[in-house]
Amino acid sequence: MRKRGITVKLFAVTALFFMVFYAMIMIFQLLFFDRFYQHYKTKEVAKHIHQLAEGYEKNSWSEDELTKQTLSYMRETKSPLTIVDADGYQLVQDPFNIMLEKEDGNVVEVSLSLLVINYGKQIRALNITKGDTLIVQGEPDAMVPSVIYPSVITKDTSSIGEASGENEVTIEGKVKSTSLPKNGVTNRGLGLLYDALLEWFPLDEAQIKQLSNGESMQRDWVEPWSGKHNLVLIEPFKKDGEIQYMFSVTSLQEIKDTNEALRIFYIYIGIAGIFLILLLSIFYSRLVSRPLIKLNEMAKKMVHLDFSSAKPIKQKDELGSLSNNMLIMAQNLNVALNDLKQANGKLKEDMEKREQMEKEQREFFEYASHELKTPLSIVKSFAEGLQDGVSPDKQDHYIEVIIEEADKMEGLIKDMLDLAKLENGAIKLRKVSFLLSEMIEGLADKLFCIAKEKNVSIEIMPKNEQPILADYEWMERVMKNFLINAVRHSEPNSVIAIRIELDQEKGDSVFIIENKGMQIPEEQLDKIWKRFYRTESSRSRMTGGTGLGLAIVQQILDLHGFHYGAENMPDGVRFYFRFK
C-alpha cells in the first residue's frame, strides 16, 4: 500500500477540522442564534428597565430628569417606554415634547409622541430650536388642559401634519424648550408602544396580582394585524404610595427576519467558505510539512553517514531550532566519524606494521638460526675431531677452521646487534664534514687482497666533489658494505667504478658504485634491502656475507635522510645515494 505523505495528512486533518468548525458555527447560527439573541435581548432590556424603575422609585426625579433617563433608556435599548397605571393611562409627560410659551405667559406642553409616529423625519427637518415661533393646531388633553396633542405644527412657512377638524384649538407661542426624538428611536416603535397599550390594558386580575407581588413581566406579543413578534415588558414599582408600571415594547421581528436572511446568505458564503478552507488547509499543510520534509531528507542522508549536504532551515521557531541542532549534530558526527576513520586507519596501519614486524622477527630468527647453524656444526665437528685425536699434521688446519667459523659467527652477531640498534633508533649520529673519496680510498686499500683474488680493480672518480655531513663511522660501514658487495658480485677481471659528482640541476651530490656481473631481477630490486635476503635461493652462504649488509646500509641511510636505490645496467648493477 502506498504511504500517504505528511502533506496530504496535514491537509486532510486541517481541512476536516476547519470544515467541522465552520459547520458547527453555521448550525449554531441557523438553529440556536434566534433563541440565544431573543434571550439575550430580553435579559438586557429587563435589566435596564428594572434599573430605571428602581432609580425612579428611590430618587425624587424632576420631570426633566425623568425625561432624560427615559430617553437614555430608549437610546440604549432602542425600545419606547412610558409609565402608566393599571388602566393604561400615562402618568408622566411625553418624553418627546415642545414647551411653548404663549403671549399671556402661560406655558403649554405640546406632546409629540403621536405625531412622531407618522411625521418623525419631518419634525426633525423643521429644526425647531429655542426661541422659534410656532403655530400649533391640535386637541387639548381632557384631564390636563395645559397639554395639547398636535395634528399640525407650523414654523414660518413650513407645516407638518394633517388637521382632523374636531375639538381642535390653535395656539401660537415661542419655544421655551424641546425634547425631540433622535434617529436611534424609530417612528414605528412609538406607534407600537401605543398599540400595545391598547392591547394590554386594562390589566386583568391575574396580571395585577403578579405585578403586585413585585414580579416583573416579560411576554411574547404577536401583533394581530401583522403577525410580527414583539417583547412586552412591565416593571412594577411604588411611587407616592401607589403602584405604577413602566411599560416597554421591544421588537423581535428584526431578529427573525435577519436570521431568515442569514439562512440564505450562509448557503452562498458556505460555498465560498469551503474553497477558502481548502486554500488555507493547503497553505497550512505545506507551511508545516515543508520543513518537516527537509528534516526527513536530512535525517535520511545522516542514516547513510552523509553529513556533507546538511543545511539549516531558516525559521525562528522550534523547527528552525531543531534544524540547527541537527546540523550541529551532523557536524559533530562528521568530525567524530572522520576522527574514527583516521583512528581506524592508523590502527590498521599499526596492526599491519606489527604483523609485518612480527613476521620479520620470525624470519629474522629463522634466518639467524639458519646462518648460525652451519658454522656451529662445523665448529662442533672439527672440535670433536680434535677430541678424537686427529693426526698432528691436521690439528693446525682444524684449529684454523674453528677460528675462521668463530670469526664469521662473531661478525654475524655483531651485524645483528648493529641492525637492532639502528632499527630501534638507539643510535645517535655524530655528524662531521668529510670527503667520501678519501674514505673510500682508505677502504679500497684495506680490501685490496679480496679484490685481487678475483682480479677486480677499484676506480674512484670524483667530479666537483662536495663534502658530506654525516656520521663518519656509520658512513664508513656503508661504504665498506657497498665495496664488499660489489667485489663479491663482480665478474673476474672487471672494474668497479665509483663516481662522486655534483648534480647542478638538483643542487645535490650523488654517490654511484657500479660493478659488472649478473643483474638483479627487476621484481627483486626492492627486496634486496631486507634482512637475509638473497637474489638466488640456491646461493650458498659461502658466496655472500651474513645477508645483513644491505639491511644495515638501508637503516644508516634512512637515519641520515639520504635518498638511495639500486638499478640494473646492461652489464651489471648500480647502487647510489644522494646527499647535500
Which residue has 654517490 as its cell numbers? 511
Q: What is the mean pLDDT of residues 48-57?
A: 91
The pLDDT value given to residue 312: 63
Q: Which three cell numbers stand for residue 240?
A: 407616592
For strands 147-155 and 107-111, give the pairing.
Answer: parallel
51, 52, 57, 63: CA torsion to nearest 10: 160
Report whether pLDDT(568) > 90: yes
Q: What angle do CA 204, 205, 210 make, to 5 degrees?
A: 105
Cβ count near 472 (within 10 Å): 15
Let me know how long the chain is. Answer: 580
For the chain, the distance separating the N- and C-terminal CA atoms, rounded to the nearest angstrom, is 76
H-run or E-run covering 574: strand 572-579
Report whether pLDDT(113) > 50: yes
The pLDDT value given to residue 384: 79
3-class DSSP assignment, residue 489: coil
pLDDT tier for residue 542 given thresholds of 50, 70 and 90: very low
pLDDT tier for residue 199 given thresholds of 50, 70 and 90: confident
Percent of the chain exceeding pLDDT 70 equals 86
The pLDDT value given to residue 174: 92
Q: What is the mean pLDDT of residues 55-75?
A: 85
Burial 370-383 (b: 16+ CB within 10 A, else e): ebeeebeebbeebe
Cβ count near 443 (within 10 Å): 16
The pLDDT value given to residue 310: 61
Task: Catalogue the long-range contacts made by 86-89 (C-beta closer than 8 Å, 24 or more residues apart).
Answer: 86/201, 86/202, 86/203, 86/208, 86/243, 86/245, 87/201, 87/202, 88/197, 88/198, 88/200, 88/201, 88/202
pLDDT tier for residue 419 given thresholds of 50, 70 and 90: confident
CA distance 417 to 88: 140
Q: What is the mean pLDDT of residues 392-420?
A: 79
pLDDT tier for residue 511 given thresholds of 50, 70 and 90: very high
254-267 pLDDT, tens digit each: 766 676 776 777 77
423-456 pLDDT, tens digit each: 777 788 899 999 999 999 999 998 888 888 889 9
Q: How far is CA 42 from the centre of its chain?
A: 54
CA atoms within 13 A on the CB side of 170: 7
Q: What is the mean pLDDT of residues 267-283?
A: 75
R_g of the chain, CA atoms, integer Å: 65
Q: What is the mean pLDDT of residues 206-211?
A: 87
Phi first, then psi: what are they for 135, rounded to 5°?
-115, 120
CA distance 544 to 484: 9
The pLDDT value given to residue 370: 67
471-505 pLDDT, tens digit each: 999 999 899 999 998 998 999 999 999 999 998 88
The pLDDT value given to residue 569: 93
Task: Catalogue the long-range contacts made by 496-500 (C-beta closer than 8 Å, 24 or more residues apart).
Answer: 496/451, 496/456, 496/457, 496/458, 496/459, 497/459, 497/461, 498/440, 498/458, 498/459, 498/460, 498/461, 499/461, 499/462, 499/463, 500/436, 500/437, 500/460, 500/461, 500/462, 500/463, 500/465
CA distance 143 to 160: 26
Phi first, then psi: what are they for 167, rounded to 5°?
55, 30
Q: What is the mean pLDDT of residues 158-185?
A: 79
Q: What is the mean pLDDT of residues 148-155?
A: 88
Quote the mean pLDDT of the chain: 81
Per the CB < 8 A criterion, the answer to whether 211 and 200 are in contact is no
The pLDDT value given to residue 313: 64
4-38 pLDDT, tens digit each: 566 676 677 777 777 777 778 777 777 777 788 88
Report whether pLDDT(288) > 80: no
The pLDDT value given to residue 189: 66
449-472 pLDDT, tens digit each: 888 888 999 999 999 899 999 999
Per the CB < 8 A criterion, the answer to whether 84 and 197 are in contact is yes
Higher-confidence residue: 95 or 123?
123
pLDDT tier for residue 515 given thresholds of 50, 70 and 90: very high
3-state helix, strand, coil in the chain (%, to 5): 55, 20, 25
Q: What is the mean pLDDT of residues 272-284?
A: 74
Q: Which of 401, 395, 479 is nearest to 437 (CA)?
A: 479
DSSP annotation of 523 reads G
Q: What is the DSSP string of 268-327?
A: HHHHHHHHHHHHHHHHHHHHHHHHHHHHHHHHHHHHTT--TT------SSHHHHHHHHHH
- Alpha-helical (H) ranges within 389-489 are 392-423, 436-446, 448-453, 472-488
Q: What is the mean pLDDT of residues 92-108?
A: 84
Per the CB < 8 A criterion, the answer to whether 159 and 152 are in contact is yes
Report whether pLDDT(402) > 60: yes
Report whether pLDDT(2) > 60: no
CA distance 108 to 5: 85
pLDDT tier for residue 79 given thresholds of 50, 70 and 90: confident
CA distance 295 to 302: 10
The pLDDT value given to residue 476: 92
